[in-house]
Structures are given as C-alpha cells and as structure tokens.
Amino acid sequence: MPDIMNFDPNDKTPTIVDRLIRAPGVIIGVAVLLGVVLAVVLVAVWMLWGDAVRALLGSQLGLSIVIIAVTIGLMFSVIATSILFERKIAAFIQDRKGPNRGGFWGVIQPMADGLKFLLKEEFTPARADRPLFILAPCIAFIAAFIGFAIIPWAGEIHWPWMAEGETVTTQVASLDMGILYIIAVGGFGVYGVVLAGWASNNKYSFFGGMRAAAQMISYEVPMGLVLVVVLLAAGTLRPELIVNQQAETGIWNVFLHPLAFVLLTICAFAEANRTPFDLVEAEQELVGGFHTEYSSMKFAMFFLGEYAHIITGSALIVALFLGGWHVWFLPNVDDTVWWAALIKFAVYWVKIILFIVFYIVIRWTLPRFRFDQLMKLAWKGLIPMGLGLVVATGVLVALGWQRNVPANLIANAIVLGISLWYASRSPSPVTGRQDNLPEIEVRPSATT
Amino acid sequence: MPEVSDYSFVVILILAVMGITAVILLLTYLIGPKRTGAIKHSVYESGVDPTGDARRRFNVRFYLVAVLFLIFDVEIIFLYPWAVLFPRLKATEGADQQWASDLAANGFTPAFFIVGIGIFFALLTIGFIYEWRKGVFRWD
C-alpha cells in the first residue's frame, strides 16, 4: 500500500506496477497469451462439438448470430483502437506526444478510460426528467449499434460440409428493404441526442439538443437524395446486390458518381456529429452541449455511439461506393470458399479503418462551422446538388448509360459546374463568406 | 432447421444490443459511488446559479427546419420505389422483361414513368425554389 499521507509528487522512482504496465514485453506477452488461449478454446470447441459447430455455421440463423457476436466484438475493439489513434494522430498534428503513460505508446489507455467510466458515479441532476435522462443514451447507443445489420461483410460462403450449390450469406439480415433500414435507424438515432438535451433541463444541453435536431434532420434530406442516385443506377435496395454489381463489373460506384460520394461523405460527417459539424457539442460555446449533465457510463454510451455511428457510416459508404469487400486481384463474387470469405471480410475492415483515419485527419484539420453556414451548406448547397444529381442520373438511366463511366463523369461535371457557377454569382455565397465588408484601415503597430 | 425470416435476425440483434445496454447501465449503477448534495444536484451552468427553467421558448427557425424536413423527407421517400423500379423497365431478358412488358401492356410504359416522375419532381423543385425565394433558408 503506497503511503498516501507522505506522497511526494516529485518522486519519480517507478513502482513495480508502473514497470510492469510500461514494459512492451509484458503487454505484448499478455496479448499473445490471450490470442493463444482464444485459439486453443476455438480448436477445442471444434474438436469436441464439431458437428454442432458445423450445423451452426451452416444454417443462416446460426451464422447470423455468430456474425452479430463477432461484429459487436470487432466494433468495440476498433472503437478502442480508434480512440487511441485519434489521440495519437491529434498529438502528431499538434506536435506533441499524446497518451504515453498507460502501457508503452499508450496502448492500454482506452481500456483504462473504459474502466474509469465504469467506476465513476452514475448521476442524475435533481431537476432532470429521470426516465428520459436514462433513456436518451440508451437510444443513442442502440441506434448506433444496430445499423450494421444489413452490411454485406463478405458475400456468400459455401462451407466444405454443405451440399453442392448451397450457400449462407455473411450478413446479419438480408432484408429486401436494405438501405431503407439504415435510413430508419439513422432517423431513430436523432431521438437520443434531442431527448438528452431536453431531459437534462440545462440551458447548454437544451441548445445543444435543438442544434442537434436541426442539423441531423437537415443532413438527412441530402443523404436521402444521394442514396436515390445510387439506387437509381443499381435498381435495387439490397446492399449485397449493389456490392456484387461493383465486384462483377470491377467498376466501383465512386468512379461513376464521384459527386454523390463526396455529398454522402459530408452527410455522414454531419450525421455522426463529427468536426467540422460538431456544433452540437461545441465545447467553447455550449460546454458539452447535449451531454453536459451526463457522467460515467451514460456519457460513455454517447461516446461509443458516436464512434459506432462512424463505423456503420463508413461501412455503408464502402458498400455503396467503394466496392464493399471487392479488390480487383482478390476473390470475387463466385469465390465462396471459406478462406475467400475471410479475405473479403479483412478487405472490408481495412477499407473501413482507412475511412476512420480519414475522419480523424479531417477532425484535426478543419475548424468548426458557424450555425448559419451549416444550414446554408445543407439547404442551399447539398440539397440542390442532390436534386440535380437525381435528375442527371435519371436521364442516364433512361438512356441506358448507367454503367457508362464517361457519361456519368460528364453528368457529374455538369451538375458541379452549374452549382459552382450559381454559388459564384449568388449575392450571399453558400459558404457564408461575407464580401463587401467595410474597408478597415490597417496601421502599422507602434514599435519601440 | 426451420426456415426463419430475415427480419427475426434484426430482432435478435436489437435484443442483443439492448441486453448489452442494460448490463452496462446496471454495472455502473452497482459499482459507482453515490454521494448526493443539493449543490451537486443543481444544474451545471458554469458555476452561475441557474435562473428559471431550461425549457424556454426557442427560435422559430428550428421549428421551420423541422417542418421543411418532414415535407422533403417524405417526398424523397416517395422517390425510392421509383428509383428501384425504373432501371428494371429497360430489362431485356428474364422475369424483369416479362414484368416490364406486362406493365407496358396495361398502359404503364417507360414514357408514363418518366412523365409521372417528371411532374412529381417539378412540384418538388418548384416548392423548393419558392421556399428559397421566400427566405426560409436565411439563417444570418
């Protein structure tokens, strides 16, 4: 037990715990040990209950349950890793070191944070609306974590023990309404933030909640329009078929609809409340926005929800525009062996992680919007461009050119050109930049 | 194995996530310390004593955005069925071709679909331009 009363802050001699935690060998050793234990357990289960496992993996119900478990586990670990990387990349951009105390290179920092959240007081202010106050983070968390149900992780699998021609699909649920499900879940997620702002009975939270409502519903409109563009070209709502189309032709949708891809990325940033659209929690003006009054795990659920939202949003964009699990020289639609599915799964997650890195770099590169700029960007920038794109794509589909790259690029260029031309001649530019400001006389400062 | 609808997998996922949520909330409720006090339970407004209730009147523009969203999002949802069916009208083989020719035989030719969505889209665009000119989107 350390001597708390005679604690000397200048005493730098590391204790035995400090040394153990910071030694790279210990942490890597523990990680390798955990991996070996997991592998041994999996092999043991395979040896002991092989038939049951094969029956489980061979049925769609069993495989869906396995995918739910694997994906939720992967999401938690990717969230933990991306929180560490977010802080490390921020540190790199701002020329400082970032977390470096919890383990070597700060690797156990996210785990320490999680533990701290769990140990903190679970607290509700006296004047808050208690049921809604507890319900709000639950809604935010649940809405963020159920969105991945329709993500086609790795196409079809044909296990060696299955009958000829039979396959199971590596998707939690292959819904005929597909993309509509993601839109519905995204709309549901707005409630979490708005209710949090309302229930706290705090003026900061209230303003944060109002801003969140306005921002998230404003950016849902252009998102819906851009999705219409993709669906119009694909002719289906099922994301697995959209991915298969891209894999079969080898032309990702991003080459056909680059403008739609950019618009959807902007909307995904706004939907996840990430910088430059994080006015909802703007620390300088609103303290913490909607989560000012939240503590312990209830705060952590908003936090986890935000990152889960980023992962699901990235997964959706990857499926719709970046070819899902497809890379040109790797397994394609017809390769349904189990190891091909594993490669596809890995490729999908590599693409998602690259997208998360893009999110992080943007966060530490761009400053926050002003609220009027935010609304102008949505209503006067993205929505007219989305309407134009829908018309352009509709014309292309009517002519039968929906998979013709030059025709699509020309259509995109026309829409972009008209938008930029209108923006340049509009008296109040959509970016909110103010021209015609009065001239300020600049005098050289007095030097001594 | 009985045949199960894909929607039941979504239900399983939702139940699993709800379970995780309940466990997290229960854990932190059981583990965390509990110390109360009048000051601690008051609203955090940067150390200033809170005045009045937080549920006050707010700017009407937030309300306008909500109304606009309702109109626009519903209109865009109406585009989805058209967007999914329109490319299939040009199918040249298979069940889609049979479906498209059946539709055309009943008067629902591709031209009908183009004119119909054209009128709908024109209404949408005219409404949008009207709102823009009316100054609904002016936030400064």
Determine the Cα–Cα distance for residues B76 and A120; give it in Å rounded to an integer: 44
Each residue's pLDDT tens digit in chain B (140 positions)?
A: 456 778 888 888 999 999 999 998 888 888 878 887 777 777 777 777 777 777 778 888 888 888 888 888 888 888 888 888 888 877 777 777 787 788 778 877 778 888 888 898 898 889 888 888 887 777 76
Tell the burial category of A131 from Cβ atoms under 10 Å away from its Cβ (0-12, 13-18, 19+).
Answer: exposed
Rounded to the nearest angstrom, the minimum Cα separation between B2 and chain A is 9
pLDDT at A162: 79
Rounded distance between C-alpha atoms, residue A85 and residue B107, angstroms: 59
Provide, as residue numbers in chain A, all residues whose Cβ is less than 8 Å from the Cβ of B20: 72, 145
- In this prediction, residue B18 carries a pLDDT of 92
Mean pLDDT of A367-372: 80
Domain coordinates of chain B in residue numbers? Answer: 6-133
pLDDT of residue A4: 63
pLDDT tens-digit readout, A139-153: 989 998 998 888 988
pLDDT, mean of residues A264-277: 85
Give A184-209 pLDDT, tens digit per residue: 888 888 888 888 888 888 888 888 88
Angstroms from B6 CA to nearest CA on chain A: 5
Name the region of A103 (left: φ>0; alpha: ψ -120 to 50; beta: rest). Answer: left
Give the distance, in angstroms, between the CA of residue A175 and the centroid of all CA atoms in the same chain.
21
Q: So what's the pLDDT on residue A434?
A: 59
Nearest residue of A to residue B110, measured between CA atoms = A398
pLDDT surpassing 70 at residue A230: yes
Please name the member of B17, B55, B84 whose beta carbon is closest to the beta carbon of A237: B84
A169 membership: H or E segment, kind and range: strand A168-169
Beta carbons of A172 and A154 less than 8 angstroms apart: no
For residue A430, pLDDT over 50 is answered with no
Closest residue in B to A226 (Cα) is: B76
Task: Choose the weakest-confidence range: A129-133, A266-270, A409-413, B1-5.
Answer: B1-5
A369 CB neighbours in chain B (<8 A) are: none
Does A76 contact B at CB distance below 8 Å?
Answer: no
Show Cβ contacts of residue A19 under 8 Å, excluding neighbours closer than 6 positions.
Answer: none
Distance from CA of A2 to the nearest CA of B (A): 22
Task: Tell me whether A200 touches chain B (CB under 8 Å).
Answer: yes
Chain B residues whose beta carbon lies within 8 Å of the beta carbon of residue A237: 80, 84
**One-character DSSP codes across A6-71:** T--TT-----HHHHHHH-HHHHHHHHHHHHHHHHHHHHHHHHHSHHHHHHHHHSHHHHHHHHHHHH
Place of tokens 């109360």: B36
Across the interface, of A126, A174, A210, the residue whose CB is closest to B58 is A210
What is the distance between the alpha carbons of residues B60 and A210, in angstroms, rounded to a whole number? Answer: 11
Q: What is the pLDDT of residue A282?
A: 65
Percent of chain A at pLDDT exceeding 90: 13
**Predicted pLDDT of residue A428:** 55
CB–CB contact A61 B1 (8 Å): yes
Chain B residues in contact with A55 (beta carbon < 8 A): 1
With 90 as the cut, is the pLDDT of residue A166 above it? no
Interface test with B, best of A71, A132, A139, A146 (most B CBs within 10 A): A146
Q: What is the pLDDT of residue A121?
A: 82
Interface of A with B in 303-362 (CB under 8 A): none
pLDDT digits (tens, 9 = 90+) for A113-137: 888 888 888 878 878 888 888 899 9
For residue B17, the distance in angstroms to the closest alpha carbon of chain A comes to: 6
Cβ neighbours of A428 in B, within 8 Å: 140
3-state DSSP assignment of residue A156: strand
In angstroms, what separates the C-alpha of A245 from chain B's closest C-alpha?
Answer: 14
Mark which residues 231-250 of A lie under 8 Å from B by CB: 231-237
Confidence at residue A209, expressed as pLDDT on a 0 to 100 scale: 84
CB atoms B90 and A400 under 8 Å: yes
Q: Please tell me the pTM assigned to this model.
A: 0.86
- Does residue A198 sit at the B interface (CB-CB below 8 Å)? yes
CA distances from B76 to A150, A221, A258, B65, B123 (A): 21, 8, 21, 16, 12
Window 354-373 of A: residues touching B by CB (8 A cutoff) are 371-372
What's the complex ipTM? 0.85
Closest C-alpha among A307, A288, A27, A304 to residue B28:
A304
The alpha-carbon gap from A297 to the nearest alpha carbon of chain B, in Å, equals: 6
* Numbers of helices and strands, H then E, in chain B: 4, 0
Tell me the pLDDT band of A36, cut-offs 50, 70 and 90.
very high
Return the half-sphere exposure (C-beta side, CA atoms, 13 A cut-off) of residue B129. 7
Contacts A–B by Cβ distance under 8 A: 201
Does position A422 have pLDDT exceeding 60, yes or no?
Answer: yes
Task: Answer whether B62 sits within 8 Å of A210, measured CB to CB.
Answer: yes
Q: What is the pLDDT of residue A167?
A: 81
Predicted local distance difference test score (pLDDT) of residue A436: 66
CATH topology for the B6-133 domain:
Methane Monooxygenase Hydroxylase; Chain G, domain 1 (1.20.58)
**What pairs with residue B60 in β-bridges?**
none
Using a CB-CB cut-off of 8 Å, the residues of chain A touching B69 are 217-218, 220-221
